[in-house]
Amino acid sequence: MNFFQALFMGLVQALTEYLPVSSSAHIRIIGDLMIGKDPGAAFTAIIQLGTELAVILYYRRDIIRILGAWFGSLFGKEGKDLKSRLGAHNPDTQMGWFIIIGTMPILIAGLLFKDAIETTLRNLWITVTVLAVFGVLLWVFDARSKQVKTMKQMTWKDALLFGVGQMLALIPGVSRSGGTITFGRAMGYTREAAVRVSFLMAIPAVFGAGILEAVSAIKDVSACSAGDAASCTAIGAFPGWGATLAATVVAFFVGYVVIIGFLKFVSTFSYKAFAVYRIGLAVVVALLLITGVLPAIDPSVAAAA
């Protein structure tokens, strides 16, 4: 991957990260079409840091308030009893705990199935399947579910279910926002509430994955430079740190603009357009696979598996 291809990938990441259409699927598909191979999980995870920094900037006041309340509760600011420490008297403290609960499924699954996530699950036939399935689910739940619950009505059970939706996004094609929004709408949350929960809950998960992948990439790049063939295979199409950081910057600035536009969109319209897009994309990719234009599994990924 050269510098300008990396920048284009950063743009794709920014345009698709917050929408329920799966940014990882787009990076995987466009990478194959543009450079002839999978850009790899490391590059994908690192440029996601850019879009998450945009989320932090946009929701900075909410984040500061939630963190302040959560840390204050740990030191007994709201009461010394367990219920007070868990946010019985402060919705912001509760939200802090809800975000932790919602992060646990993706954290546990990510650690347990790291190898499969980076190899087997990047099969494009799996991507096609989940693009279509979650497109249908999003369409159905958004059309039939009531919009009655806001973040103030969130429970521990709801937070865990949001987390399960986020966990499924480890499969390219599900979409982190798509999984959490679909689960949120199925539980009766408003479109705006489902999006806000999706954005806030993604922050620790995405940053955790990005940092781990960055550390792993540093080791692999160093080993590859020293002549280790396995490490060179592991980094795949990694374009180097300069291009990767530039792509991350593009993802940050464009992503911030996309957040504003997406929130305005969901306050007025349904998710039907995104559901139709997912299904249409699944059909197109399936045709490209059948005709041999795209390989189901990148050779370098298959070798790593």
Tell me the C-alpha distance between 99 and 107, whole Å.
12
Tokens of 200: 């806030």
Show contacts of 87-93: CB within 8 Å, 24+ apart: 91/151, 91/152, 92/65, 92/66, 92/68, 93/66, 93/69
Distance, in Å, from the CA atom of 152 to the CA atom of 56, rounded to the nearest integer, reads 21
Count the Cβ atoms, other than its own, within 10 Å of residue 72.
16
Rounded distance between C-alpha atoms, residue 191 and residue 183, angstroms: 11
**What CA–CA distance (Å, rounded) separates 281 from 128?**
8
User: Tokens representing 148?
Assistant: 């009655």
Residue 128, both tokens: 């096609």
pLDDT for the residue 305: 47
Domain borders along the chain are 3-303
Nearest to 142 by CA among 270, 280, 279: 270
For 62, the token pair is: 């909410």
Which residues of the chain register pLDDT less than 50? Answer: 302-305
Query: Of 187, 181, 180, 178, which Cα lies nearest the Cα of 145?
Result: 187
Instruction: Output phi, psi for 123, to 5 deg.
Output: -65, 130
Q: Supply the pLDDT for residue 272.
A: 92
Phi-psi region of 240 (alpha: psi -120 to 50; beta: other; left: phi over 0): left
**Are the C-beta atoms of 98 and 66 separated by less than 8 Å?**
no
Q: Give the residue from 279, 259, 250 showing the smallest Cα distance to 128.
A: 279
* Cα 174 from Cα 128, distance rounded (Å): 10
Query: Which pLDDT score is estimated for 76?
Result: 76
Between CA 34 and CA 36 the distance in angstroms is 6
**The dihedral of CA 203, 208, 210, 214: what is its sign?**
positive
